[in-house]
């Protein structure tokens, strides 16, 4: 990536304006997740990560109070360029720093290999969430 990637951790009040459009672009528009289930009340409780390429926010994700990582989304033009890996690493570091013993996530099946490469292990059978096949995964810290 020619411009340096900047990764920031923010509370929802500061992340909302930049994270919401990324999540809607990826989940609602690309993946057809119903808009009414994309945003939830947990956003207020989460620590959010934003990836910036220059001044533009290009990726987001969140860490829930219970150690779950979710809503990982990278704009299409910035995929396969290390953005997701950098965000995931920062969320794992944040979980470790606050004393979490593990992190868990619900990976879309097409992303299982990505999470496995970062040490996550599959748990249980595949299931459907928002019409998309998912796999529970966990990483001990």
Assigned domain for 121 exists: no
How many whole angstroms from its chain centre is CA 25?
14
Assigned domain for 81 exists: yes
Assigned domain for 68 exists: yes
Residue numbers of the domain that contains 96: 5-100
137, 119 in Cβ contact below 8 A? no
Residue 7 sits at the vertex; the CA angle it makes with 140 and 94, to the nearest 5 degrees, is 30
Q: In the chain, which stretches have pLDDT less than 70?
A: 1-3
Q: Among 62, 53, 54, which Cα is nearest to 20's?
A: 62
Total-model pTM: 0.94
Assigned domain for 125 exists: no
Q: Read off the CATH number of the domain in which 44 is found.
A: 3.40.630.30
């Amino acid at each position: 990536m020619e411009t340096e990637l900047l990764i920031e951790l923010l509370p929802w009040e500061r992340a909302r304006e930049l994270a919401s459009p990324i999540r809607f672009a990826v989940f609602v528009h690309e993946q057809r997740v119903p808009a009414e289930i994309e945003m939830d009340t947990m956003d207020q409780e989460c620590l959010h990560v934003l990836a910036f390429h220059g001044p533009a926010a290009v990726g987001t994700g969140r860490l829930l109070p219970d150690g779950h990582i979710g809503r990982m989304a990278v704009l299409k033009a910035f995929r396969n360029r290390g953005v997701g890996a950098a965000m995931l690493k920062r969320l794992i570091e944040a979980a470790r720093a606050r004393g979490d013993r593990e992190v868990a996530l619900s990976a879309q099946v097409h992303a299982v290999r990505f999470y496995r490469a970062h040490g996550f292990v599959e748990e249980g059978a595949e299931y459907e969430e928002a019409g998309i096949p998912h796999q529970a995964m966990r990483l001990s810290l």
